[in-house]
Amino acid sequence: MQSQLKEQTAEKHRIAERKPFNMRMFKGELNLQAYMHYLEQQLAIFTELEKHPLPHPSLNRIESISADIQELETAGALRKGELTATTTYKNYLSGLTASEQLPHIYLHYLAIAYGGQIMKTKVPSKGLFYDFHNFEACILSIRQIQQDSWVNEVNKGYDAIINIFDAHEATILETTKMIEHA
């Protein structure tokens, strides 16, 4: 049986999954620079989420994201900084207490744990971001605290992800235009 939380966040999940930027990533169409910019956004979000203890220590992503960023920098990708949409979301998260951040932990860490296993094979790095030690224990630690009352907050998280994906896509389109006109 599907949980109320999953059921009532399914539409936003579907929208996020079908965003052009996410589809590009899923198809393996991101170059080093575009993936670097994506990881920069993830580092900002996960740094904010990891200011409080997580349900399981193996959930921590900062070190793995940083390692992927280092790999891309070594290959020639440059840091471009945070998107405005990421800064807005990060600032929102920073205003939440540890318990108020739990719906966002549910959203981001399960997305990376499950969807990341597919994405890992499509990105232009080793994809350490998607590797979880104690995978089952990590998932269980989130499932044990999961609450149906998180619907509104999880949907806010999806709205932020959708905005970030839209900003990524706009950046790619702008870069493409600049190259075409050069």
Domain ranges in the chain are 31-171
Confidence of residue 182 (pLDDT cuts 50, 70, 90): low
* Structure confidence by residue, pLDDT tens digits, 40-88: 999 999 999 999 999 999 999 999 999 999 999 999 999 999 999 999 9
* Structure confidence by residue, pLDDT tens digits, 127-173: 999 999 999 999 999 999 999 999 999 999 999 999 999 999 999 99
Would the pTM of this model clear 0.85, i.e. be above it?
A: yes
Confidence of residue 179 (pLDDT cuts 50, 70, 90): confident
Q: Is the pLDDT at 1 greater than 80, yes or no?
A: no
Residue entry with tokens 């981001």: 108
The maximal CA–CA distance of the chain, rounded, in angstroms, is: 55
Q: What is the mean pLDDT of residues 15-38?
A: 97
Distance CA 88, CA 58 (A): 27
Distance CA 150, CA 156 (A): 10
Q: Is the pLDDT at 180 greater than 70, yes or no?
A: yes
Q: In this predicted structure, what is the pLDDT of residue 176?
A: 75
Superfamily of domain 31-171: Heme oxygenase-like (1.20.910.10)
Q: In this predicted structure, what is the pLDDT of residue 162?
A: 98
* Contact of 47 with 66, CB cutoff 8 Å: no
Distance CA 12, CA 17 (A): 9
Q: In this predicted structure, what is the pLDDT of residue 2?
A: 63
Distance CA 121, CA 151 (A): 31
- 179: alpha, beta or left, given left = phi > 0 and alpha = psi -120 to 50? alpha
Confidence of residue 178 (pLDDT cuts 50, 70, 90): confident
